[in-house]
Amino acid sequence: MPADLPPWQTVYWHFARWEDAGVTEKLLTALRIKARTAQGREPEPSAGVLDRQSVKGADTVGTDSRGYDASKKIDGRKRFIVTETAGLLIAVAVLAASWQDPDGGKTALLGMYLRSPVRHVFADQGFAGRFVDWARDTLKTTVEIVRKPADQQGFAVHPRRWVVEGTLARLTAHRRVARDYERHPEASEAVIRWAAINGMLGRITRGHPAQSQLRRTFAWI
Map 81-94 to HEC letters: EEEECCCCEEEEEE
Tell me how far apart the alpha carbons of residues 3 and 128 are, in angstroms, rounded to a whole number: 47
Average pLDDT of the segment spanning 73-86: 96
pTM, whole model, 2 decimals?
0.87
147 band by pLDDT with thresholds 50, 70 and 90 = confident
Report how far apart, in Å, the C-alpha atoms of 145 and of each of 83, 105, 149, 158 are.
15, 13, 12, 12
* Residue 145 within a domain: yes
How does DSSP classify residue 175? G
137 band by pLDDT with thresholds 50, 70 and 90 = very high
Sign of CA dihedral 99, 102, 108, 110: negative
* Residue 213 within a domain: no
How many domains does one find in the chain?
A: 1
Mean residue pLDDT of the chain comes to 89
* Residue 125 within a domain: yes
* Residue 220 within a domain: no
* Residue 217 within a domain: no
Most confident by average pLDDT, 57-66, 141-150, 151-160:
57-66
Tell me how far apart the alpha carbons of residues 34 and 31 are, in angstroms, rounded to a whole number: 5
* Residue 212 within a domain: no
Q: Are the C-beta atoms of residues 101 and 132 closer than 8 Å to each other?
A: no
SS3 (DSSP) at 135: helix
* pLDDT score of 87 more than 70: yes
Instruction: Give the pLDDT of residue 213.
Output: 47
- Residue percentage of the chain with pLDDT more than 90: 74
* Residue 214 within a domain: no
* pLDDT score of 125 more than 60: yes
**What digits encode the pLDDT tens for the residues 39-52?**
999 999 999 999 99
Instruction: Give the pLDDT of residue 211.
Output: 58
* pLDDT score of 182 more than 60: yes
- Residue percentage of the chain with pLDDT more than 70: 87
57 band by pLDDT with thresholds 50, 70 and 90 = very high
Which domain CATH number covers 200?
Answer: 3.30.420.10
Instruction: Give the pLDDT of residue 44.
Output: 95
Instruction: Give the pLDDT of residue 151.
Output: 66
Q: Which domain, by its residues, includes 105?
A: 8-205
* Residue 2 within a domain: no
